[in-house]
Amino acid sequence: MRIFPILTAILVAAVIYLFVFQRDVLLSFGTDESEMLQMASQPAPAAAPDQNSAPIVSVAVLPSTAQNVDSAVTVRGETRATRQVDLRAETNGRVISQPLRKGATVLADQPMCEIDPGTRGVSLAEAEARLAESRARVPEAEARVIEAEARLDEALINDRAAEKLSQGGFASEARVASATAATQTARAGVAAAQSGLQSTLAGIQSAAAAVALAQKEISRLIIHASFDGILETDTAELGSLLQPGGLCATVLQLDPIKLVGFVPEMAVQHVKLGAAAEARLVDGRRILGEVSFISRSADKVTRTFQIEVTVPNEDLSVSAGQTADITISAQGTLAHLLPGSALTLNDSGTLGLRVLDADNTVRFVPVTLIRDTVKGVWVAGLPQEADVIVVGQEFVTDGVIVDPTYTEAAR
């Protein structure tokens, strides 16, 4: 009983094959000679109309006039603190101050961490005592110099007297030699006294240096904030031991805040110091600032130039490390504001617009997209005045004559 469905399937497949692959044979089959003669006796069909008689395409045209608009360079960047410093210990000791918690606002020179002075006060007192002792020795050393100089003067007088007496025959040569020896001894005494004075003065300088060192060591016991800012970390805990280089706290300055981005080398010449800039944060907020730094050395890997934008942040609402799309205004250029739907591509894939010439002939003009706004796109590359096809541009090509309907831009 199952043979009939199989035969039916074979029959249906054969009919489909004939209608699909042998259609011409089926159409020609059954055409008799009389029908062919009747077809031959009919008059020849009229010739197809030429291209000039084809229907003219209707398009919507928007007259546009170029305007001077600011160009813009857009880069992806991030916010950074204007200043950030790690306050570290310069001496060792136990912390004796109560900690400040992160997030607290601090002022410049505000104490952050205080270290136990230990015996540093005693060392300072000892250094000051040595300085006083060294200064007290100065008069004694100066007196020795004066005494030695007086003895030298006396020896010189005796030496000259012995020399004159010897010349008159009233003094022996032994006396002259003794006077000369006394003079040399007096000179040596003066030199020794002066050396003692210099040694005393050097002792004063050494003692003063020891006092300054002790005072500096004591000044390192209190670690101060370098500038107004916010604590990024807790200060060192009470009782903790700090070694030289140990971290006391990290302070950030967020007012003003910096926006840091990297501009391609093709666009860096359009960015100028002091140029206005706008940034959009990931939460939708927009902040305004101006360019404060442009790197003069490109990154060796990305071939981009770092730029910085300074933004006021009095309420500290912008934190460091947030992603931002930075738009920097550049030198103005002439551009047309047109609907984005008017843009099209030619056969080679070039972005452009189709405009009308004086005789309503279509012409394709390549353009450069400058900026995309809610009102439309700003494009450059068109003449000062242009009639732009905004509807129907996809159905015409260069050289085609169209029937334009002029419209106005939406306000």
Would the pLDDT of 46 be above 60? Answer: no
pLDDT, one tens digit per residue, over 84-102 is 999 999 999 999 999 999 9
Would the pLDDT of 39 be above 60? Answer: no
Q: Residues 264-275: what's their mean pLDDT?
A: 86
Higher pLDDT, 69 or 276: 276
Would the pLDDT of 48 be above 60? Answer: no
Q: Residues 90-117: what's their mean pLDDT?
A: 94
At residue 54 the predicted structure's pLDDT band, cuts being 50, 70 and 90, is low
pLDDT, one tens digit per residue, over 131-167 is 999 888 888 888 888 988 888 888 888 878 777 777 7
Would the pLDDT of 261 be above 90? Answer: yes
pLDDT at 151: 86
For the chain, give the mean pLDDT: 85
Task: Give φ, ψ of 271 to 5 degrees.
Answer: -95, 130
pLDDT, one tens digit per residue, over 315-339 is 888 999 999 999 988 767 788 999 9
| C-alpha separations of 327 from 65, 225, 316 in Å | 25, 35, 22
pLDDT at 222: 95
Angle between helices 120-168 and 173-219 in degrees, nearest 10: 170
pLDDT at 186: 84
pLDDT at 9: 73
pLDDT, one tens digit per residue, over 364-393 is 999 988 777 888 898 988 999 999 999 999
